[in-house]
Amino acid sequence: ETGVTQTPRHLVMGMTNKKSLKCEQHLGHNAMYWYKQSAKKPLELMFVYNFKEQTENNSVPSRFSPECPNSSHLFLHLHTLQPEDSALYLCASSQEGTSVSYEQYFGPGTRLTVT
Amino acid sequence: KQEVTQIPAALSVPEGENLVLNCSFTDSAIYNLQWFRQDPGKGLTSLLLIQSSQREQTSGRLNASLDKSSGRSTLYIAASQPGDSATYLCASDNYGQNFVFGPGTRLSVLP
């Protein structure tokens, strides 16, 4: 257990569906991240939230919409996805703005399949 | 923009061997470098984090070193065990950027 949970763990959705991925961190961190991991590709950073403010959007298509209502929760809203969006979606958190380290802690991921 | 590479892409060794995994990065202006382990279909588990002012970190049978001037980090695994089989990823945290991950090294330790 890393202190970061993700639900659901597996999701199959059609291209016309709307679904949401949820991430929750119990570590008291102030930054949260969404990553995409496709087969045979390095982990790709999608979004970063620091203190609930989005600080980075890595040219992600608008069919992915993040939401960070507070520093402990992060959502990724999905709509009209494409089959190539099938991947493992990982959430992470870290403590930013301290003199220690920005060590990232990851959740177990949501395996998304778009049919 | 930071680029991170890892060699080898895959490695298979017999149980008990000591081994070294390599990570290279193009931009030496890093804040820290982190090594992770990922089991198939699972999330990432942090192994070691080396801050830019440090040269190495140790945890049990693992030792990670950092040479910023040459843009390299190595992960040394002593007395490998079948349970060490996983994909090992390195990631650099850069000033003005966020974590950039390498493609990983897939390790198989054979009993």
Cβ contacts (< 8 Å) between A1 and chain B: which residues?
Answer: none
| Residue B40's pLDDT band (cuts 50, 70, 90) | confident
Count of Cβ atoms closer than 10 Å to residue A97 Cβ:
9
Which residue bears the tokens 């202006």? B29
Q: Which residues contact A38 (CB under 8 A, 6 or more apart)?
A: A44, A86, A87, A88
- Phi–psi pair at B75, nearest 5 degrees: -115, 120
pLDDT(A101) > 70: no
Average pLDDT, chain B: 93
What is the nearest CA distance from B91 to chain A, expressed in angstroms?
A: 10
> Residue B99 to residues B38, B77, B91: CA-CA distances in angstroms?
16, 23, 6
- Backbone region of residue B61 per phi and psi (left: phi > 0; alpha: psi in -120 to 50; beta: other values): alpha
Cβ contacts (< 8 Å) between A39 and chain B: which residues?
Answer: none
Cβ contacts (< 8 Å) between B101 and chain A: which residues?
Answer: 42-43
What is the nearest CA distance from B16 to chain A, expressed in angstroms?
A: 28
* pLDDT digit string, tens, across residues B50-74: 988 899 999 999 999 999 999 999 9
pLDDT of residue B66: 96
pLDDT(B18) > 70: yes
